């Protein structure tokens, strides 16, 4: 009887086969990334300047003293962020680093669970091990833990914000976003989502939290004004190292400023058109709209702003998860070629073809973000043109195999009975596909 209880269960469905195969891979990958790769560390150490800043803050020494002529990681958090990370200074440096690794690992795991629930999946679904394995196999999660930075906590703040935003709990959604903005501005474009949805209360806490924390941190800091007079200038300049944005790679490869600006403006136009189409035809489909629009905004930020680093791509997980929705813009191979460019942990540096390998390694992130924005524009643009050609724009732009056009009698009845029948696609379009085990 005891041996019978210990006997592994045999899978009876394809979903169970996948779950039984992937759960061990997912769990062991998490353990490897957290306890081996992260603890081993790397030559790039994002935590060292953070710990030094916390130590200086606690001891009332100047914080913003970095030499920006060097290529070592610099401390770039706001004074409010310094206040939040200050407690790590009371730990031994090694213990503090381990704590930061654990904090981000727990935050990423919590974000993984919230991402499952956002798309109505459970821990028993086949999606759970697939998503966990994919996240911890990616460059963005791996290097966030290895370099030991705060991005895992920022991802968790993003998922909490999206959950609360969709539930219309505006003040709490803004508070979650505000805590991340108090440290770094990565998620600032998400305020446009709240603006588009008319959720004005989000702004009260999203802006109020960092302002309040700054007011607390200011008298406790030795040189808080130096962030605005010295560090901010460096942040808004495009550096030519460890920078995958268009300005950064443009500087590295010596492109003329006019060409860099042409690329930025051109891609910006594509982004604006994509956002307009999303707002005009999909804002009623809340899950699809919020996750897709946030992905477009954040990808544009990484690609077109002064600084874009590969592990920022972690914030795109909610967008990539929309692939389970029937009307997703990511159900095509070019989209996932783009994702491979900025998510893969593979290195393309070649001993045999050094010049080509270096270019592929340095440009694959930039091209990946750019291709993803182009794919979104092309999919939405094609849907719009097809709907316009078929005379069905009043019913939205989803393909007819996703959302059939009502018959003429049903259309007339809908127009009489519902004045909002032309406001875009129905809210039920974004129901996830069923992949429960």
Contacts of 399 (CB under 8 A, 6+ apart): 383, 386
- Whether residue 415 is predicted with pLDDT greater than 90 in this model: the reply is no
Q: What is the mean pLDDT of residues 152-173?
A: 97
Length reported for the chain: 437
Q: What is the mean pLDDT of residues 106-123?
A: 97
Whole-number percent of the chain with pLDDT over 90: 80
| Ranges 66-75, 314-323, 384-393, 396-405: which has the least confidence | 66-75
> Average pLDDT of the chain?
90
d(CA 231, CA 68): 9
CB 23, CB 30: distance < 8 Å: no
- Whether residue 431 is predicted with pLDDT greater than 70 in this model: the reply is no
Q: Residue 234: its pLDDT value, please?
A: 87
Contacts of 269 (CB under 8 A, 6+ apart): none
Residue 194: helix, strand or coil by DSSP?
Answer: helix
Q: Residue 3: its pLDDT value, please?
A: 59
Q: Quote the Cα angle for 274-113-41, to 5°.
A: 90
- Whether residue 169 is predicted with pLDDT greater than 60 in this model: the reply is yes
Torsion sign across C-alpha atoms 282, 284, 286, 287: negative
182-237: per-residue pLDDT in tens? 999 999 999 999 999 999 999 999 999 999 999 999 999 999 999 999 998 888 88
254: left (phi over 0), alpha (psi -120 to 50) or beta: left
pLDDT classification of 426: cutoffs 50, 70, 90:
very low
Report which secondary-structure segment, H or E, holds 31. Answer: helix 14-31
- Whether residue 1 is predicted with pLDDT greater than 70 in this model: the reply is no
Q: What is the mean pLDDT of residues 104-127?
A: 97
Q: Residue 436: its pLDDT value, please?
A: 43
Q: What is the mean pLDDT of residues 338-365?
A: 94
Residue with the bigger pLDDT between 344 and 428: it is 344
CB 315, CB 187: distance < 8 Å: yes
- Whether residue 419 is predicted with pLDDT greater than 50 in this model: the reply is no
- Whether residue 10 is predicted with pLDDT greater than 80 in this model: the reply is no
Q: Rounded to the nearest 5°, which phi and psi values hold at 282?
A: -130, 0
Q: Residue 2: its pLDDT value, please?
A: 59
- Whether residue 373 is predicted with pLDDT greater than 50 in this model: the reply is yes
- Whether residue 344 is predicted with pLDDT greater than 50 in this model: the reply is yes
What DSSP line would sit under 336-390, residue for residue?
A: HHHHHHHH-------SSSHHHHHHHHHHHHHHHHHHHHHHHHHHHHHHHHHHHHH
242-288: per-residue pLDDT in tens? 899 999 999 999 999 999 999 999 999 999 999 999 999 999 999 99
Q: Which residues of 141-176 are buried (b: 16+ CB within 10 A; e: fewer)?
A: bbbbbbbbbbbbbbbbbbbbbbbbbbeebbebbbbb
Read off the pTM.
Answer: 0.90
d(CA 375, CA 295): 12
Q: Residue 34: its pLDDT value, please?
A: 96
């Amino acid at each position: 009887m005891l041996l019978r209880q210990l006997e592994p269960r045999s899978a009876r469905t394809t979903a169970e086969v996948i779950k039984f195969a992937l759960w061990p891979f997912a769990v062991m990958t998490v353990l490897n990334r957290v306890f081996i790769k992260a603890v081993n560390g790397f030559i790039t150490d994002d935590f060292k300047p953070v710990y030094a800043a916390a130590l200086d803050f606690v001891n009332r020494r100047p914080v913003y003293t970095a030499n920006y002529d060097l290529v070592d990681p610099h401390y770039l958090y706001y004074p409010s962020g310094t206040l939040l990370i200050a407690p790590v200074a009371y730990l031994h440096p090694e213990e503090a680093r381990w704590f930061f690794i654990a904090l981000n690992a727990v935050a990423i795991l919590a974000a993984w669970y919230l991402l499952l629930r956002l798309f109505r999946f459970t821990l028993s679904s086949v999606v759970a091990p697939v998503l966990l394995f994919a996240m911890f196999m990616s460059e963005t999660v791996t290097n966030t833990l290895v370099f030991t930075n705060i991005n895992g906590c920022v991802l968790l703040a993003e998922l909490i914000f999206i959950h609360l935003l969709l539930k219309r709990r505006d003040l709490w959604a803004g508070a979650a976003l505000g805590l991340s903005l108090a440290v770094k501005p990565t998620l600032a474009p998400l305020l446009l989502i709240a603006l588009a949805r008319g959720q004005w209360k989000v702004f009260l806490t999203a802006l109020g939290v960092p302002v309040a924390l700054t007011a607390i941190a200011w008298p406790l800091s030795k040189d808080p004004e130096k962030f605005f007079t010295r560090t901010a200038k460096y942040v808004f300049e495009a550096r030519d190292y460890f920078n995958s944005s268009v300005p950064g790679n443009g500087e590295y490869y010596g492109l003329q400023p006019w060409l860099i600006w042409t690329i930025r403006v051109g891609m910006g136009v594509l982004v604006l058109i994509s956002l307009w189409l999303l707002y005009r035809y999909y804002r009623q489909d809340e899950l699809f709209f919020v996750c897709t629009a946030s992905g477009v905004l954040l990808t544009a930020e990484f690609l077109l702003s002064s600084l874009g680093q590969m592990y920022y791509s972690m914030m795109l997980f909610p967008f990539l998860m929309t692939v389970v929705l029937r009307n997703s813009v990511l159900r095509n191979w070019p989209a996932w070629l783009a994702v491979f460019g900025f998510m893969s942990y593979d290195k393309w540096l070649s001993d045999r073809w050094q010049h080509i390998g270096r270019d592929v390694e340095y440009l694959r992130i930039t091209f990946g973000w750019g291709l993803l924005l182009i794919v979104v524009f092309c999919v939405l643009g094609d849907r719009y043109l097809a709907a316009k050609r078929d005379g069905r724009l009043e019913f939205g732009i989803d393909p007819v195999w996703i959302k059939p056009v009502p018959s003429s009698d049903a259309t007339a009845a809908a127009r009489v009975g519902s004045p909002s029948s032309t406001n875009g696609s129905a809210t039920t379009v974004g129901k996830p596909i069923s992949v429960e085990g």
